[in-house]
C-alpha cells in the first residue's frame, strides 16, 4: 500500500447522481427498438457478380442463377447487421452500372469503418476533388447498394445528417445501431479476438465475450487476432 | 432470472457500475448511458445467465465492454477524456434524437456535476490525475478503475476481462508506474 493507492482510491470515489436508479428502471421497461424487423422491407437485386441494388419499401428480391446465392447471402448478412450481430459485409457488390466518379466515391465510402462518420467535404478531399462535396453528395444519394456500401456514414460538416435515400429516420437508427454495437470481440477461452460478425465470433457463448478497443489492446493482455476475419485491418 | 430479481440487482449495482463508467468516460451523461446500455444488454440476456457466474462479474463485464467500446470510438475521433470532462463536465447525451446530434460527434462544454462534494482545493490534483490517467493504456486503466472504485480482487478482475491473474497483476503494476511517472513529469514541467 503506497501513496498512489490512497490517491487513486480517493480519486475514484464517485457518488452517483440523484435519481439514477429511477432512470435506469424506466430504461429497462422501455421496449428496445426492433431494427431487425426491418429486414422484410429490404429487397435485393443481384447479378452473377454480386448485389447490384438494394431497395427499401415494397418489392421483392430479383436474382437468377448464381445471383440467387448472392441475394441470399446479402439478406442473411443484412439481418445480422440490423440485429447488431455483424459489423461488416462479405457479400460482393456489382457496381458495373455506375460511372467512374461515382465508383470512386462509393469505393471511398466503403472504406469508412463501422461506427465512424465522415463529412461530404472530407470524402471529396480523399478522392482528390476537394471542391466537389456537393457532387459527392449526389453520387452517394444515387448509391445503388445503401447500407452494404455505407453511405449513411457520411454526414454534413456541421454534424447534421444530410440526405439519405431511405429517409433521415433510418439513417439515425443505423448510426445509433453502429454506435451501440461493439466492433472487436475476444473469446475468453481461445484468447482470440475477432470482428463482430466473423463466423468464429458467432460461436462464442454469452459468458465468453469481452470487448476490446483495438487489436493492440487485446495483444497487451494475451489475445491474438483472428486469422479468418483479420480484425487488425478493420480496427486500424 | 426473473424480471423482478434483475431489477433489484440493477438497483443494487447501479451506483458501483456508474462509478466505474464515470471514471473511465469522464462525464455524467456518457457514464449513465454506458450503465444503461450495459444493464439493458444483461436484461435482454438474463435468461442465459448461469449461476456458475458471480452476478457482479457478469454486470461489471457488461459495463466494462460498453466503456471499452466507447473509448475505442473516442480514440478514433482523436480524443479521449478531455480536460473539460475532468471534473464532471456535462455533455449532451450522445446521439440523442432530441438534440439532433450525430452519434459520436459531440460538442463539449464545461460544467460541474457528477462528483459529489469535491473540495475546491483538490480540483487541481484531480485534473493532474485525469491527465496522468489518460496516458495509462486502456486495458490497464480499466483494471485500475475496477480495482480502486470497487475494490475488486485480482481473481474477479481476471474473470471480468477474461485474462489471467498474472496479467491482471502486471497490468495494474504497469498502469501505476506510468501514472506515477506522468504525475512526476507533470509536476516538473507542468505540461500536458
A83 CA: distance to closest CA in chain B (Å): 13
DSSP secondary structure string, chain A? --HHHHHHHHHT--PPPTTHHHHHHHHHHSPPP-GGGGGGGEEEEE-SSSEEEEEESS---EE-TTHHHHHHHHHHHHHHHHTT--S---S-B--TTS-HHHHHHHHHHTTSPTT--EEHHHHHHHTT-TT-HHHHHHHHHT-SSBTTB-GGGEE-TTS-----TT-HHHHHHHHHHHHHS-SEEEETTTTEEEETT-TTGGGS-GGGEEEES-HHHHHHTT-EE-TTT-HHHHT-
Q: What's the mean pLDDT when you consider all of chain B?
A: 75
Give the pLDDT confidence of A47-86 residue by residue, as tens digits.
Answer: 999 999 999 877 778 877 888 999 999 999 999 999 999 9
- Mean pLDDT within A177-206: 93
Give the burial string for B128-165 (b: 16+ CB within 10 Å, else e). bbbbbbbbbbbbbbbbbbbbbbbebebebbbbbbbbee
Contacts of A232 in chain B (CB under 8 A): none
Which chain A positions have a beta carbon within 8 Å of B145's beta carbon?
A: 12
How far apart CA A124 and CA A145 sit, in angstroms, is: 20
Chain A neighbours among B 159-188 (CB < 8 Å)? 161-164, 167, 171, 176, 179-180
Are A159 and B43 inside 8 Å of each other by CB? no
Q: What is the pLDDT of residue B76?
A: 61
Query: What is the arithmetic mean of pLDDT over B13-33?
Result: 90
- The pLDDT of residue A232 is above 90: no
Maximum separation of any 2 CA atoms in chain B, in Å: 56
Rounded alpha-carbon distances, angstroms, from residue B190 to B42, B184, B185: 43, 9, 7
Angstrom distance (rounded) from CA B39 to CA B59: 7
pLDDT band at A207 (very low <50, low <70, confident <90, very high): confident
Rounded mean pLDDT, A28-55: 84
pLDDT at B109 over 80: no
How far away is chain A from the Cα of B69, in angstroms, using its nearest Cα?
A: 6
The C-alpha atoms of residue A121 and residue A123 are separated, in whole angstroms, by 5
User: Edge-to-edge, what's the strand order for the sheet holding A224-225?
Assistant: A209-212, A184-187, A192-195, A224-225
Q: pLDDT grade, residue B9 (50/70/90)?
A: confident
pLDDT band at B123 (very low <50, low <70, confident <90, very high): low
pLDDT at residue number B84: 38
- Rounded distance, CA A162 to CA A168, Å? 8
Domain boundaries, chain B: 3-93+105-187
Whether pLDDT at B187 is above 70: no
Cell numbers found for residue B152 = 475488486
* For chain B, percent of residues with pLDDT exceeding 90: 33
CA–CA distance, B138 with B86 (Å, rounded to integer): 17
State how far Cα A133 lies from the chain centre: 23
Nearest-CA residue of chain B relative to A236? B76
Find the CB nearest A21 among B11, B100, B149.
B11
**What 3-state DSSP class applies to B98?**
coil
Q: Are B85 and B108 in contact (CB under 8 A)?
A: yes
| Residues of chain B with C-beta less than 8 angstroms from the C-beta of A187 | 162
Tell me which range, A188-197, B70-79, B86-95, B141-150, is most confidently predicted by mean pLDDT. Answer: A188-197
Q: For position A32, what pLDDT does the model report? A: 65
- Where along chain A do its domains lie? 35-82, 100-180, 184-234
Calculate how close chain B gets to A29, using CA atoms only, in Å: 9
Q: Report which DSSP code applies to B129.
A: H
Whether residues A11 and B23 touch (CB distance < 8 A) is answered with yes
In this prediction, residues B10-21 reach a mean pLDDT of 89
Residue in B163, B166, B181 to test binding to A, most A beta-carbons within 10 Å: B163
Q: Which residues contact B105 (CB under 8 A, 6 or more apart)?
A: A117, A155, A159, B77
Q: Does B15 touch chain A (CB under 8 A)?
A: yes
Average pLDDT over residues B113-133: 62
- pLDDT tens digits, A80-125: 999 999 999 999 999 988 899 999 999 999 999 898 899 999 999 9
Question: Does the distance separating the beta carbons of A9 and B72 come in below 8 Å?
Answer: no
Tracing cell 429487397 back to the chain, one arrives at A43
pLDDT on residue B48: 80
* pLDDT band at residue B160 under the 50/70/90 scheme: very high
Q: Which among B11, B95, B162 has the least Cβ separation from residue A188? A: B162
How much is the pLDDT for B153? 92
Residue A68 to residue A149: CA distance in whole angstroms: 19
Say if residue B117's pLDDT is above 50. no
The predicted structure's pLDDT at residue A64: 79
Bridge-based pairing of strands A184-187 and A224-225 is unpaired
Q: Which residue in this structure is represented by grid cell 443505423? A: A174
Cα(A145)–Cα(A89) distance, integer angstroms: 12
Pick the CATH number of A100-180 from 1.10.10.10, 1.10.3720.10, 1.20.1250.20, 3.40.190.10: 1.10.10.10
Residue B192 has pLDDT above 50, yes or no: no
Q: Ramachandran region of residue B137, left (φ > 0), alpha (ψ -120 to 50) or beta?
A: beta
Please compute the mean of the pLDDT values over residues B154-177 and round it to a whole number: 95
Tens of pLDDT, residues B58-96? 999 999 999 999 988 876 655 444 433 444 444 444 444
Lowest mean pLDDT among A35-49, A73-87, A211-225: A35-49
pTM (predicted TM-score): 0.81
Cell digits of residue B158: 481476471
Look at A27 and B164 and tell me if their CB atoms are within 8 Å.
Answer: no
Amino acid at each position: 500500500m503506497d501513496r498512489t493507492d490512497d490517491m487513486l482510491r480517493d480519486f475514484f470515489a464517485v457518488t452517483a447522481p440523484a435519481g439514477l436508479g429511477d432512470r435506469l428502471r424506466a430504461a429497462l421497461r422501455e421496449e428496445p427498438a426492433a431494427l431487425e424487423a426491418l429486414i422484410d422491407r429490404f429487397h435485393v437485386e443481384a447479378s452473377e457478380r454480386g448485389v447490384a441494388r438494394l431497395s427499401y419499401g415494397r418489392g421483392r428480391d430479383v436474382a437468377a442463377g448464381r445471383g440467387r446465392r448472392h441475394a441470399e447471402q446479402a439478406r442473411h448478412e443484412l439481418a445480422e447487421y440490423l440485429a447488431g450481430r455483424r459489423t461488416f459485409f462479405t457479400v460482393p457488390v456489382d457496381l458495373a452500372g455506375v460511372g467512374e466518379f461515382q465508383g470512386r466515391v462509393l469505393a471511398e465510402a466503403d472504406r469508412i469503418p463501422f461506427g465512424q462518420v465522415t463529412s461530404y467535404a472530407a470524402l471529396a478531399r480523399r478522392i482528390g476533388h476537394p471542391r466537389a462535396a456537393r457532387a459527392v453528395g449526389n453520387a452517394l444519394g444515387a448509391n445503388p447498394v445503401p447500407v452494404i456500401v455505407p453511405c449513411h456514414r457520411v454526414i454534413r460538416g456541421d454534424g447534421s445528417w444530410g440526405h439519405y435515400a431511405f429517409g433521415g429516420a433510418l439513417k439515425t437508427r443505423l448510426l445509433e445501431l453502429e454506435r451501440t454495437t461493439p466492433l472487436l470481440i475476444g473469446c475468453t477461452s481461445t484468447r482470440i479476438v475477432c470482428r463482430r460478425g466473423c463466423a468464429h465470433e458467432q460461436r462464442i457463448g454469452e459468458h465468453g465475450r469481452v470487448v476490446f478497443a483495438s487489436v493492440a489492446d487485446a495483444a497487451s493482455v494475451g489475445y491474438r487476432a483472428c486469422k479468418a476475419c483479420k480484425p487488425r485491418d478493420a480496427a486500424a | 432470472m426473473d424480471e423482478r430479481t434483475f431489477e433489484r440487482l440493477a438497483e443494487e449495482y447501479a451506483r458501483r457500475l456508474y462509478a466505474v463508467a464515470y471514471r473511465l468516460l469522464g462525464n455524467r451523461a456518457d457514464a449513465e448511458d454506458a450503465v444503461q446500455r450495459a444493464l439493458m444488454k444483461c436484461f435482454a440476456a438474463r435468461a442465459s445467465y448461469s449461476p456458475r457466474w458471480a452476478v457482479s462479474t457478469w454486470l461489471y463485464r457488461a459495463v466494462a465492454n460498453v466503456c471499452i467500446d466507447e473509448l475505442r470510438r473516442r480514440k478514433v475521433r482523436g480524443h479521449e477524456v478531455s480536460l473539460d470532462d475532468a471534473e464532471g463536465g456535462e455533455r449532451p447525451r450522445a446521439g440523442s434524437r432530441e438534440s439532433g446530434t450525430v452519434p459520436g460527434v459531440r460538442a463539449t462544454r464545461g460544467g460541474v456535476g457528477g462528483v459529489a462534494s469535491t473540495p475546491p482545493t483538490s480540483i487541481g490534483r484531480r485534473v493532474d490525475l485525469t491527465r496522468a490517467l489518460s496516458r495509462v493504456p486502456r486495458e490497464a486503466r480499466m483494471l485500475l478503475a475496477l480495482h480502486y472504485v470497487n475494490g475488486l480482487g485480482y481473481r474477479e478482475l481476471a474473470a471480468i476481462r477474461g485474462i489471467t491473474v498474472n496479467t491482471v497483476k502486471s497490468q495494474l503494476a504497469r498502469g501505476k508506474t506510468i501514472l506515477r511517472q506522468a504525475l512526476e513529469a507533470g509536476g516538473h514541467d507542468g505540461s500536458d
